[in-house]
Amino acid sequence: MTITLANPVKYLKGVGPQRAAALEERGLATVGDLLSYLPFRYEDRIRFTPIAEIIPGQVHTVLAEVTGGGGGTVRFARSRGPVFHVTVRDASGMLHARFFHGAYLQGRLKEGQRLVLHGKAEVDAYRPGRIEMVNPQIELVGAGEQASGDSTEVGRIVPVYEAIGSISSRMLRRIIYGVLTQFDGSVPDALPEEIRQRYRFPTRREALLYAHFPPKDESLELLNGFRSPAQLRLIFEEFFYYQLALALRRRNERREAGMAMRVREEKIRAALKRILPFKPTAAQKRVLGEIAGDLAQPHPMHRLLEGDVGSGKTIVALEAAAIVIENGCQVALMAPTEILAAQHYLSARRIFAPAGYGVELIVSGRGRKRAEREATLGRIESGEAQFVVGTHALIEDPVKFRRLGLVIVDEQHRFGVLQRKRLIEKGASPHVLVMTATPIPRTLALTLYGDLDLSVIDEMPPGRTPVETRWTADAQLPGVWEFLRREIGQGRQAFVIYPVIEESKQELKAATAEYERLASAVFPNLRVGLLHGRLKNEEKDAVMEQFRRGELHILVATTVVEVGVDVPNATVMVIEHAGRFGLAQLHQLRGRIGRGQEKSYCILVAPKTITGEARERLEAMVATSNGFEIAERDLKQRGPGEFFGTRQHGDAAFSFAQPLRDHELLELARREAFALAENPQRADDVAARLASLNPAWQKRYQLASVG
């Protein structure tokens, strides 16, 4: 009987109903899916290290058998719980191995059992004359397993898979090996032949067979670096199809009829001059030029505006809005928090007042007067409201526009793909400008927002001095408060940030309690305000407005002030429990200060003894205030998915490829895909072929969507 890609996994040898369920849950329902599940590492089990030749401090793979005395035993270590000890030997010597939480091994590692151990060898901590491995990876080897061509365990380069549920790497290897021995060998390939030839990529069939069970003479270094020809091809194709989907979507958008704005230079320049409170930076001018160029096109703009916190994105957005409003269309600006929406509303009103534009604010109905809201909705529907600012409340059904010409999404990474889409659908192909203060390395921008054009504000408004960041232990707080008092004495304002609103079991200081304490005991002579997400809208607005007007000296807050809030006179930020916050979040918070001419200070309060990633975050904050550097570090620590808060977006598009690791292939694939899309007929053919060959991929690559 032969096996084809379409065979369901549940009928495979070695796969019972339970394992089938686990595989299916992982999205591996067919043999085709299973063969796409690739090893993440390879072990050389052709040449095992004889135990006598082990070099302490290095990683070795050893083939050995359990020595006498009935096999391994469990002993209890006071601090670590049960530890499983076993001694193994080969023809050359003996090796000791310890497994923490290894009680499950009892009875499995019997005397005479053959096994492969893979791990770092060390001089035994307790008996210096002996070599040991602590928590090595192990695999039992059956008595019959010889180093023959047929063994999946020894005598070859062995693929190591990430276990799926209770299905170990070894079981997966056996199942996949079993499939390949009966496989009919038919693997359709949607990658255009000329591209395959240009890069001398193997066919998909060759690549898959090779990646699971590489020939003996393949370089382990290439394999483990994901650089063997087979792996390169499999990585490339994931990027290629993804980029092709982006290229096709972009082509379709270009075909879509949009609203071409007349950008009459003199008139608009005069209007802008009248409304702008300051001289734009060169970067702001350049970026506005790019946006204006897009707005003049007869198809909708899809542009990402990227700029570090405080680089002045808002004003560029308002300028773009002015162009659109001058063309008789409406503009919607969506912001992730009510505080930020209210702030944008206020500055838009201030700036647009001389031009006489109708500016409105829409936040969720809670706590607002009904009649007022109805009236606002009416003015949006009639077109009287020309610039509408709001939270996600903007996408609710009752909000109807008369002629929506431009959608602006601020801090766009805080929104889901669908939320952005729903706002866009309130118009007929409006122009779209999304903004982010999360500086994205170019590679990642190509991956995640590859269907967007990119504008970058890479210059800060003049006269800024970088924020000075310090890391202080709890014990130093009295000194910190003293410093705050001095700054406030000079006319400045300060933020004090806490991780939670109310006290909880976690023993974290909470904003409400600390607010009481600071206001009554520490700063009895200063005006202290409190801001957190659970306040009513009116209360939030009132506090924010007081702070903005300088009527409050200190604002005690949670991360509600994280994005966007702009009070240039605030020059000090104290962040308590700083180790609790993510790096991007700390950077955003710090972005609230250093917005004016005066020097600003960010004080991170956390124990000096803090370790691990939290320590790295704080060190990064002290070391740099450059958003791009912070983003790169954060990316390394957390990976792209979490970083962007939209896990489904970039991550799910690739099962094997990794944008950061494989960025060269990504750029190559992007070039090829966009070149192919120049030939609409060919591109559609490739896409159709891909869709018919692999419906799962078709679904996957549709995920890529408007930023």
Shortest CB 348 distance to ligand ADP, Å: 12
Nearer to Mg ion, 141 or 531 (CB): 531
With residues binned 3-state (H G I as helix, E B as strand, rest as coil), the percentages for the chain, rounded to 5, are 45, 20, 40
Q: CB-side exposure of 479: number of CA atoms within 13 Å?
A: 9
> Is residue 313 a contact partner of residue 255, using CB atoms and an 8 Å limit?
no
User: Distance between the two ends of the chain, CA-based, in angstroms?
Assistant: 48
Shortest CB 266 distance to ligand ADP, Å: 21
Nearer to ligand ADP, 309 or 555 (CB): 309
| Binding string, residues 306-335; x marks residues near ligand ADP by CB under 6 A | -x-xxxxxxx--------------------
Contact pick of 595, 617, 649, 670 for ligand ADP (by CB under 6 A): 595
- Residue type for position 101: H
Nearer to ligand ADP, 314 or 330 (CB): 314
If phi over 0 gives left and psi between -120 and 50 gives alpha, with beta otherwise, what is residue 281?
A: beta
Nearer to ligand ADP, 99 or 352 (CB): 352
* Triad 42, 694, 18: Cα angle to 5°: 60
> Which does residue 568 bind out of ligand ADP, Mg ion, none, counting CB within 5 to 8 angstroms by kind?
ligand ADP
DSSP 8-state symbol, 383 = T
Shortest CB 124 distance to ligand ADP, Å: 56
Shortest CB 339 distance to Mg ion, Å: 12
Q: List, in sequence order, every residue forming a beta bridge with 574; answer none if it has no partner.
A: 496, 603
> Is residue 589 a contact partner of residue 499, using CB atoms and an 8 Å limit?
no
Shortest CB 586 distance to Mg ion, Å: 17
Nearest-CB residue to ligand ADP? 312
Q: Quick one: tokens of 559? A: 């991360």
Nearer to ligand ADP, 12 or 573 (CB): 573
> Is residue 553 a contact partner of residue 523, using CB atoms and an 8 Å limit?
yes
Task: Check binding of 568 to ligand ADP (CB under 6 A).
Answer: yes
Q: What DSSP element (H or E) covers 428?
A: none
Task: Check binding of 493 to ligand ADP (CB under 6 A).
Answer: no
Q: CB-side exposure of 698: number of CA atoms within 13 Å?
A: 12
CA distance 236 to 244: 12
Q: Quick one: tokens of 347? A: 């500055």
> Which does residue 707 bind out of Mg ion, ligand ADP, none, counting CB within 5 to 8 angstroms by kind?
none
Shortest CB 460 distance to ligand ADP, Å: 8
Nearer to ligand ADP, 253 or 629 (CB): 629
Nearest-CB residue to Mg ion? 564
Task: Check binding of 289 to ligand ADP (CB under 6 A).
Answer: no
Q: Residue 641 burial (CB < 10 Å; 0-12/13-18/19+)? A: middle
Nearer to ligand ADP, 282 or 475 (CB): 282
Q: Which of residues 509-568 bind Mg ion (CB under 5 A)?
A: 564
Q: Where are the beta strands (DSSP E) in 53-110?
A: 59-66, 73-77, 81-89, 94-100
Q: Quick one: tokens of 676? A: 């192919």
> Which does residue 315 bind out of Mg ion, ligand ADP, none, counting CB within 5 to 8 angstroms by kind?
ligand ADP
Piece in contact with ligand ADP (CB under 6 A), picked from 52-60, 190-198, 276-284, 484-492: 276-284
Total residues binding ligand ADP (CB under 6 A): 18
Task: Check binding of 284 to ligand ADP (CB under 6 A).
Answer: yes
Q: Which of residues 443-482 bind ligand ADP (CB under 6 A)?
A: 461
If phi over 0 gives left and psi between -120 and 50 gives alpha, with beta otherwise, what is residue 178?
A: alpha
Nearer to ligand ADP, 338 or 662 (CB): 338
Name the 3-class secondary structure at 297.
coil
Task: Check binding of 627 to Mg ion (CB under 5 A).
Answer: no
Nearer to Mg ion, 43 or 306 (CB): 306
Nearer to Mg ion, 336 or 564 (CB): 564
Pairing between strand 528-531 and 554-557? parallel
Q: Quick one: tokens of 412? A: 């766009």
Piece in contact with ligand ADP (CB under 6 A), picked from 8-16, 94-102, 305-313, 480-488: 305-313
Q: Which residues contact 336 (CB under 8 A, 6 or more apart)?
A: 391, 392, 410, 411, 414, 415, 563
Contact pick of 257, 278, 516, 636 for ligand ADP (by CB under 6 A): 278
CA distance 278 to 595: 14
CA distance 638 to 646: 13
> Which does residue 310 bind out of Mg ion, ligand ADP, none, counting CB within 5 to 8 angstroms by kind?
ligand ADP
> Is residue 653 a contact partner of residue 422, using CB atoms and an 8 Å limit?
no
Shortest CB 589 distance to ligand ADP, Å: 12
Shortest CB 32 distance to ligand ADP, Å: 46
Chain positions contacting ligand ADP, by CB under 6 A? 278-281, 284, 307, 309-315, 437, 461, 566, 568, 595
Chain positions contacting Mg ion, by CB under 5 A? 564
